[in-house]
């Protein structure tokens, strides 16, 4: 089935022009807006990016490599960039770098003088390729203590006065003096690696010096599985580094592929060597649909929900906000009421909610709302909003491609529910709903030489939805290396991309799965649930901080139970909208919206207990709104539902995406756990 792009088009004046630091062949729609390497093409392209395990900077025609030291404080952790080693061609100081290739797991940068650098995430070596003889030069901010060359001048050990030892491997002999001067021109491959361990680690780095990765693809053709496939050059086995969240999920072909003596620290946990051209990561399947997993059999509880439902539905009134985010929350809130009505058997009330959803959603589909509208931005290849195209502050920077999965996730949730309740409406606006979900979850096209369609396992299941041309970048927000999304768009930050709310990211992919369920699209459902499961995994590993956790330094983790904003190169206790000491907000933003998948995100009851106990003392503050209190009590219900119920019944208001009905549904579906 061929779907057209149904929204009016615009060439946004708010979004920057696609960068001249992107090769001309890549400067065509659709363009990536939330990729982990965007600092290389934003503004001057000189802000560092974290390409595990190194911070990499492109500046003055050269590439600087930093194995960063960490700074830990009660409210943040970050890695400090110092250019330990810089590589450039002597004649390149006035030139600019250009990104010539990118994919799921890598980005290739070309520097003046012909130096090509395939930066593949997780490689212990930084690889530099010189296809023609070039006047190579090494520099260091540190004082060089010694340079020792062996193996016919193809291995060079450089010790610096900061205690670091760097290994420089070359495919051909290289004459390197003690001040890092290179005699003559060099053609071939240079590989640079920090030696972090003992003699055994050096032996392994020596052994795997010859095979280098060029590209990396994430294959999702099997539900709840990600397969990394690297394209490599050279010979021998490919040595890469794994993060704890990879090792949690990894299927090891054999025990000897793990190289425990090769370890590097990283912002996302200790990295350990793994040898292989591909990895398979298997996530435990999650089974979650429209309703709670166990239902509500107690008639008294069903009755209490029905009473709340009558009140909440009677109070439904025209949504007055023009904000795409808050409007999305409001329609998703109403959609929750519809599904709860189904669950407790209140069909009469369903009609009223269905009509409200129709009246609220259709103006966004038709572009008749007036206060705002969805548009297709032909500058980068993205949905945008009318308001955020005239003011970058509107809609939380949606026009700069911030938070697309959050906003559109809410609309997809409401759209999926309405399509379920009214299939005629769903059919009429299928192209609109698919355009919304594909904005943040397109999977069909790749820029890989060895590309494979992710969908081949699913061909026989349904009529393939296709487009006449690619509208959106592949998986706009989701990062397959760290297995979670980035919310931050086209803004240069020293610490890279960032994401605040994991629960809203989870909700986006869960909502995509529900859209698949509504339209009988098994492919969309499986991709949505797979990304839901992966986002949950990373939230639990990186954002959730149990008291016994070892992910972060004690200086930080002893006073924190959850990360506020997670950056590529930083962990911050504070939020975009609240300070680090505002614990109710910090808990709530990692919980909302409360939906059936919430119980999977918070399945560790001991951790939930710690998080709630960490937050409860703050509820004595008069400035804490009932909306935020509701999320604290929702988590409390996981281990103390009776107490949580009493607390919830005292609330006089709720978050604009939540309701008494939803909280009662949540508490009663925890009741006998």
Query: One of 403, 438, 439, 618 is an active-site residue; which one?
Result: 403
Q: Residue 466 is encoded by which pair of tokens? A: 């296709």
Nearest to 438 by CA among 363, 519, 533, 369: 519
| 419 located within any domain | no
Q: Considering the domain boundaries, does residue 356 fall inside one?
A: no
DSSP 442: B
Q: Over the stretch 246-299, which tens digit does the pLDDT of each residue have?
A: 999 998 766 678 888 999 999 999 999 999 999 999 999 999 999 999 999 999
41 found inside a domain: yes
Phi, psi dihedral angles at 566 (to 5 degrees): -100, 120
Domain of 157, CATH number, reads 2.70.98.30
pTM over 0.85: yes
Number of domain units in the chain: 1
Length of the chain: 673
pLDDT at res. 464: 64
Round to whole Å and give the CA distance between 115 and 187. Answer: 10
Q: Is residue 309 part of a domain?
A: no
How far apart are the two ends of the chain, measured CA to CA in Å? 44
pLDDT tens per residue across span 67-117: 999 999 999 999 999 999 999 997 656 689 999 999 999 999 999 999 999
144's tokens: 């060089």
Residue 362 lies in a domain: no
Question: How many whole angstroms separate alpha carbon 229 and alpha carbon 215?
Answer: 8
- Residue 4 among the catalytic residues: no
> Collapsing DSSP states into helix, strand and coil, what is residue 138?
strand
Q: Report the pLDDT value the prediction gives residue 450, as an integer from 0 to 100.
A: 32
Burial class (CB in 10 A: 0-12, 13-18, 19+), 146: exposed
Ranges assigned E (strand) in 85-154: 85-89, 98-102, 106-111, 115-120, 125-134, 136-139, 144-150
Sort strands 98-102 and 49-51 into parallel, antiparallel or unpaired: unpaired
In a domain, 147, yes or no: yes
Distance CA 363, CA 356 (A): 12
Q: How far is CA 421 from CA 241, 380, 415, 508, 510, in A?
A: 48, 35, 10, 20, 18
C-alpha–C-alpha distance, residues 622 and 538, integer Å: 34
The domain in which residue 128 lies consists of 19-216
Judge whether 88 and 60 are in contact, CB under 8 Å: yes
Question: How far apart are alpha carbons 272 and 619 in whole angstroms?
Answer: 42
403 is catalytic: yes
pLDDT in tens, 364-402: 999 999 999 999 999 999 999 999 999 999 999 999 999
Give the active site residue among 229, 394, 500, 582. Answer: 500
Tokens of 394: 């509107």
How far is residue 445's CA from residue 624's CA, in Å, rounded to a whole number? 46
Residue 501 tokens read as 């709310």
Cross-strand bridge partners of residue 88 = 137
Within a domain: 116: yes
pLDDT in tens, 633-644: 999 999 999 999
The tens digit of pLDDT for each residue in 588-604 reads 999 999 999 999 999 99
Question: Residues with Cβ < 8 Å from 620, sequence gap 6 or more?
Answer: none
Angstrom distance (rounded) from CA 210 to CA 236? 7
User: Among this protein's residues, is 60 annotated catalytic?
Assistant: no
- 178-231 per-position pLDDT tens digit: 999 999 999 999 999 999 988 899 999 999 999 999 999 999 999 999 999 999
pLDDT interval class at 407 (50, 70, 90): very high
Instruction: Write the pLDDT tens digit of every residue in 547-581.
Output: 999 999 999 999 999 999 999 999 999 999 999 99
Q: How many percent of the chain have pLDDT more than 70?
A: 96
Q: Is the pLDDT of residue 448 over 60?
A: no
Q: Is the pLDDT of residue 446 over 70?
A: no
Say what the alpha-carbon torsion angle 331, 334, 339, 345 is, to the nearest 10 degrees.
Answer: -160
Task: Say if CB 100 and CB 126 are below 8 A apart.
Answer: no
- Rounded to 10°, the helix 660-668/626-639 angle is 10
Given the residues 103, 504, 582, 599, the one annotated as active site? 504
pLDDT one-digit tens code per residue, 20-73: 999 999 999 999 999 999 999 999 999 999 999 999 999 999 999 999 999 999
Tokens read off for 475: 């998986």
pLDDT tier at 463 (50, 70, 90 boundaries)?
Answer: low
Answer whether residue 47 is part of any domain: yes
Is the backbone of residue 416 left (phi > 0), alpha (psi -120 to 50) or beta? alpha
Q: Which residues contact 535 (CB under 8 A, 6 or more apart)?
A: 478, 483, 484, 485, 502, 505, 506, 509
DSSP one-letter code for 454: G
């Amino acid at each position: 089935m061929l779907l057209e792009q149904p929204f009016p088009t615009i060439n946004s004046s708010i979004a920057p022009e696609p960068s001249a630091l992107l090769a001309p062949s890549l400067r065509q729609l659709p363009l990536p807006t939330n990729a982990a390497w965007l600092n290389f093409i934003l503004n001057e392209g000189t802000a560092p990016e974290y390409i595990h395990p190194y911070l990499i900077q492109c500046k003055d025609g050269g590439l600087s490599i930093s194995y960063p030291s960490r700074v830990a404080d009660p409210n943040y952790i970050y890695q400090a960039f110092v250019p330990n080693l810089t590589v450039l061609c002597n004649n390149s100081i006035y030139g600019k770098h250009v990104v010539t290739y990118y994919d799921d797991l890598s980005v290739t940068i070309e520097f003046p003088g012909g130096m090509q650098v395939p930066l593949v995430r997780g490689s212990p070596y930084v690889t530099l390729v010189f296809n023609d003889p070039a006047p190579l030069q090494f520099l260091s901010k540190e004082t060089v203590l010694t340079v020792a060359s062996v193996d016919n001048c193809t291995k060079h050990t450089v010790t610096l006065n900061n205690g670091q030892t760097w290994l420089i491997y070359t495919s051909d002999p290289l004459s390197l003096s003690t001040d890092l001067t290179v005699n003559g021109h060099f053609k071939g491959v240079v590989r640079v690696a920090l030696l972090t361990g003992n003699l055994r680690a050096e032996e392994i780095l020596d052994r795997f010096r010859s095979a280098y990765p060029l590209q990396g693809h994430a294959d999702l053709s099997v539900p709840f599985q990600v397969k990394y496939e690297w394209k490599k050059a050279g010979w021998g086995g490919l040595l890469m580094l794994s993060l704890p969240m990879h090792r949690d999920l990894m299927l090891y072909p054999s025990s000897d592929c793990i190289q425990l003596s090769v370890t590097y620290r990283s912002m996302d946990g200790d990295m350990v060597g793994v040898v292989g051209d591909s990895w398979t990561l298997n996530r435990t399947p999650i089974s979650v649909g429209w309703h709670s997993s166990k239902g509500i059999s107690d008639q008294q509880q069903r009755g209490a929900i029905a009473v709340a439902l009558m009140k909440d539905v009677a109070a439904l009134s025209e949504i007055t906000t023009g904000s795409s985010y808050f409007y999305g929350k409001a329609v998703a809130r109403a959609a929750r009421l519809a599904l709860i009505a189904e669950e407790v058997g209140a069909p009469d009330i369903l009609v009223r909610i269905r009509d409200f959803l129709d009246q609220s959603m259709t103006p966004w589909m038709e572009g008749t709302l007036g206060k705002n509208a969805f548009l297709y931005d032909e500058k980068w290849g993205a949905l945008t909003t009318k308001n955020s195209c005239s003011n970058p502050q509107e809609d939380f920077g949606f026009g700069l491609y911030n938070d697309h999965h959050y906003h559109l996730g809410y609309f997809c949730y409401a759209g999926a529910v309405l399509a379920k309740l009214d299939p005629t409406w769903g059919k009429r606006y299928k192209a609109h709903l698919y355009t919304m979900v594909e904005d943040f979850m397109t999977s069909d096209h790749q820029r890989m030489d060895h590309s494979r369609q992710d969908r081949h396992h699913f061909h026989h299941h349904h009529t393939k939805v296709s487009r006449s041309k690619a509208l959106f970048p592949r998986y706009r927000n989701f990062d397959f290396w760290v297995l979670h999304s980035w919310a931050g768009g086209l803004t240069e930050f020293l610490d890279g991309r960032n994401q605040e709310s994991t629960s809203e990211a989870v909700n986006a992919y869960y909502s995509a799965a529900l859209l698949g369920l509504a339209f009988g699209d098994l492919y969309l459902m499986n991709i949505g649930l797979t990304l839901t499961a992966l986002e949950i995994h990373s939230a639990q590993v990186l954002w959730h901080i149990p008291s016994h956790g070892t992910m972060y330094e004690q200086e930080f983790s002893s006073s924190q139970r959850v990360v506020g904003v997670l950056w590529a190169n930083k962990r911050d206790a504070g939020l975009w909208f609240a300070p680090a000491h505002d614990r109710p907000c910090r808990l709530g933003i990692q919980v909302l919206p409360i939906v059936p998948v919430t119980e999977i995100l918070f399945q560790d009851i001991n951790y939930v207990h710690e998080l709630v106990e960490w937050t409860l003392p703050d509820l004595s503050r008069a400035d804490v709104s009932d909306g935020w209190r509701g999320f604290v009590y929702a988590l409390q219900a996981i281990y103390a539902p009776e107490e949580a119920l009493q607390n919830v019944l005292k609330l006089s208001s709720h978050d604009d995406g939540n309701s008494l009905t939803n909280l009662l549904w949540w508490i009663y579906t925890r009741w006998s756990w």
